[in-house]
């Protein structure tokens, strides 16, 4: 039988693995915000960095995207991670902010590969209506990649979504019976957990 203390530690360890391993189920989580009309708005993102000691979960976005304004208006977000192989789901509630400068922003931009930076060279804001199917890339990049120097132009569109986790709900699916627990972070006591009925 799992112990609550080991579950929260292993949950953070799996999140760290989701950053490093592109094949890990946590690498492409869903991040949900409050939509412009007040309803939920979710999208799949790439998990970019996890700092367990600081309760941070980070991803990148285009600063012109709709989620930036949504987070500014309502900073509470929900992450959903699911790993099919491990049959493990995490639902993480967090408080978000969008960073456009500072040490974490600089580090995130410096870690971006040229291929990742290519996305931020889009001439139009994501989600803007288009006359037809569009890659939203400069003509010269439709079949190629930018040079390192050219990729620097994407910096003005780049943003870091910084989320501070305060609740983690863990669900393990098993033929012999599912297990479910919830953990809430309260300063200065740290994470406290309780079992839930699955």
* Domain extents in the chain: 4-127+134-196
Which CA distances in Å does 22 have to 27, 53, 98?
6, 22, 24
1: pLDDT strictly greater than 80: no
Instruction: Give the separation between CA 11 and CA 151, rounded to whole angstroms.
Output: 35
Q: What CATH number was assigned to the domain covering residues 4-127+134-196?
A: 2.30.110.10
| Half-sphere exposure at residue 66, Cβ-oriented, CA atoms within 13 angstroms | 15
Instruction: Give tens-digit pLDDT for 90-111.
Output: 999 999 999 999 999 999 999 9
pLDDT surpassing 60 at residue 148: yes
Report the first-to-last Cα separation within the chain, whole angstroms.
Answer: 15
Q: Do the Cβ atoms of 82 and 89 come closer than 8 Å?
A: yes
Q: What is the pLDDT of residues 108-123, one digit of tens each?
A: 999 999 999 999 999 9
The reported pLDDT for the residue numbered 5 is 87
Q: Which of the four pLDDT bands, split at 50, 70 and 90, describes residue 14?
A: very high
What does the pLDDT read at residue 143? 87
Three-state SS string over 81-100 comes to EEECCCCEEEEEEEEEEEEC
Comparing 164 with 141, the larger pLDDT belongs to 164
Q: What is the pTM of this model?
A: 0.95
The share of the chain scoring above pLDDT 90, in percent, equals 90
Q: Could you give the CA distance from residue 141 to residue 103 in angstroms, rounded to a whole number?
A: 29
* Residue 96, beta-bridge partner list: 163
**Main-chain phi, psi angles of 117, to 5 degrees:** -65, -25
Of 189, 175, 18, 177, the closest CA to residue 92 belongs to 18
144-160: b or e for each residue (b if 16 or more CB lie within 10 Å)? Answer: eebeeebbeebeebbbb
């Amino acid at each position: 039988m799992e112990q609550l203390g080991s579950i929260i530690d292993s949950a953070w360890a799996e999140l760290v693995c989701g950053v490093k391993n592109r094949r890990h189920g946590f690498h492409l989580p869903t991040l949900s915000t409050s939509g412009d009309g007040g309803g939920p708005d979710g999208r799949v993102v790439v998990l970019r960095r996890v700092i367990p000691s600081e309760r941070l979960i980070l991803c990148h976005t285009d600063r012109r995207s709709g989620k930036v304004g949504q987070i500014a208006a309502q900073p509470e977000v929900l992450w959903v991670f699911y790993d099919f192989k491990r049959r493990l789901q995490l639902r993480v509630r967090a408080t978000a902010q969008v960073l456009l400068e500072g040490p974490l922003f600089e580090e995130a931009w410096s870690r971006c590969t040229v291929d990742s930076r290519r996305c931020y060279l889009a001439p139009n804001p994501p989600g803007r209506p288009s006359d037809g199917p569009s890659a939203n890339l400069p003509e010269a990049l439709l079949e190629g990649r930018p040079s390192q120097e050219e990729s620097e132009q994407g910096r003005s569109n780049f943003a870091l979504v910084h989320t501070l986790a305060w609740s983690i709900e863990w669900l393990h699916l098993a033929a012999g019976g599912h297990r479910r627990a919830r953990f809430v972070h309260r300063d200065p006591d740290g994470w406290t957990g309780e079992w839930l009925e699955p």
